[in-house]
Structure 1
Amino acid sequence: MRMMGHSHALSGAVIWLASAPALAGLTPVAGNALLPAELLAGALVCAGAAMLPDLDHPSATIAQTFGPATWLLSKAVNFLSGGHRHATHSLLFCVATGLGAHALAQYSTVGRDIVVVLMIGLALRALAVGVPGRTITSAVVNILLTAALFLIFGSLGVGYGWLGLAVGIGAFAHVVGDCLTERGCPVLWPIKGRWLLPYKIGFKTGKAFEQKLLAPALSVGIVVLLYLRLMPGITMG
């Protein structure tokens, strides 16, 4: 089984908030990643990107993010990747999506904006923004809130030079998370073989550990990291 969507999204946000200072110091494309608006946008994008590998699963909730549009996208990804937990759950996919997003950020404003909107929408859907049991209504709510956030970030002058990093890191966070479950991932796809912890160690998804320990711990981590990053006079290496 795969990790639950909200756990993936929360882990993506945590990893971005934790690594933003190092990324800002290491590469010019992430130079503004610590500015408040950029930091929040990056956390949301990375959270959404942490859902990307599961677009190979048309039955997953995430495939309903924007209604028929993301369902059709999921069907296409499922066909092209060879089914669930194949090509999209690999290092190659993480690198390819990261490089692709970076290229769009550099050379295509329209393409960049489509990726940003999709990532924000995926993050909101994974965090259960919507109306339970109402697929179309939830899709409409998601679209409206996604559009609002995108416009707000635009009005605040958010740049997306770091987009490729956020997408690649988010997808990688997903792969690492699924490697900790009992099924593992084909990390080195197309080479056969799955990376996973032994069955009695790898946690069972959707059970008490994930719902009562992992997800709350990740949520607390986000709050703490946001406080450390955004509060004046507090720095963290």
Structure 2
Amino acid sequence: MMGHTHALTGAAAWLGLAPALAVLPLLNESSRFIETGIMAGALSPAEILAGALVCAGAAMLPDLDHPSATIAQTFGPMTWLLSKAVSWLSGGHRGATHSLVFAVAMGFGAHWLAGSQPIGRDVMVVLLIGLALRAIGIGIPGNKLGSAMVNVGLTAGLFVVFRSLGVGYAWLGVAVALGCLIHVVGDCMTERGCPVLWPMAYKFMLPWKIGIKTGKKFEQKILAPALSVAILGLLYWRLAY
């Protein structure tokens, strides 16, 4: 799947599952988390919105193994070099990063940042928000510099708003893991599949060659618009009731 489709599926998954995820027990049940995060039993509207953006950005993380992917191009040479290194370490595109192991590892890593490294947590949140905005096409068509400035401005503005609204990030690990997992599920629906149980080499994919063709008409003209409509509906449902 293409980057914007992955981001849309990440946002839709979070909006659809957030109420159920909100009652999950945390691995670290500190009083701060109990008061501000998942253990409160419900997420605030601001946390639902923040989670949708974070999950959309996290749904791009498995493609760090692809130097030509959206995520590798988002922050210039820094992410491109990181992508080259990840591609080499993971065995190329759709290797280790497209697996349950990667999703769980990223989730636990984000959870650790949320619990003990506030600066690292904030950096991760900002990067994921920026990545989500880039993936869904926020910017100025044909103007890379202008698009980058719009992205930076919107990302900073959203982060400041979330801070001012007292958003807690006890849910960060869950959102990141879910985003990575939904990416893997999406790519399992394409013609190439994914090694979900890496390091086992077997690739899971739809049978009978009915997998989605990446970047073709169905994804561009049907799937992406359908996901956009679903996200708008879920936003209304979660925030209006």
Structure 1 spans left out of the alignment, 5+ residues: none
Aligned equivalents of 1:38, 1:150: Cα separation in 2: 11
Change (3 A) 1:165 1:182: same
Q: What SS does the corresponding residue of 1:25 show, helix, strand or coil?
A: coil
Compute the displacement of 1:136 (Å): 4.0
Letter in 1 for 2:38: A
Structure 2 spans left out of the alignment, 5+ residues: 27-36
Aligned equivalents of 1:83, 1:93: Cα separation in 2: 14
Q: What SS does the corresponding residue of 2:203 show, helix, strand or coil?
A: coil
Please tell me whether residue 215 in structure 1 is matched to residue 213 in structure 2. no
> Residue deviations 1:209-237, cap 9 Å, x none?
11121111111111111111111xx3xxx
TM norm structure 2 = 0.90
* Aligned twin of 2:19: 21
* Aligned twin of 1:12: 10
Residue in structure 2 matching 1:184, options 193, 197, 202: 193
Residue in structure 2 matching 1:50, options 46, 59, 69: 59
Letter in 2 for 1:163: L
Task: Give percent identity, aligned residues only.
Answer: 69
CA contact (8 A) 1:182 1:198 kept: no
* Aligned twin of 1:96: 105
Compute the displacement of 1:132 (Å): 3.4
* Aligned twin of 1:30: 38
Aligned equivalents of 2:113, 2:67: Cα separation in 1: 26
* Aligned twin of 1:171: 180
Please tell me whether residue 202 in structure 1 is matched to residue 200 in structure 2. no
RMSD: 1.5
* Aligned twin of 2:95: 86
Q: What SS does the corresponding residue of 2:97 show, helix, strand or coil?
A: helix
CA contact (8 A) 1:65 1:142 kept: no
Please tell me whether residue 41 in structure 1 is matched to residue 50 in structure 2. yes
Aligned equivalents of 1:105, 1:180: Cα separation in 2: 32
1:222-237 matched pairs, under 5 angstroms: 222-231=231-240, 234=241
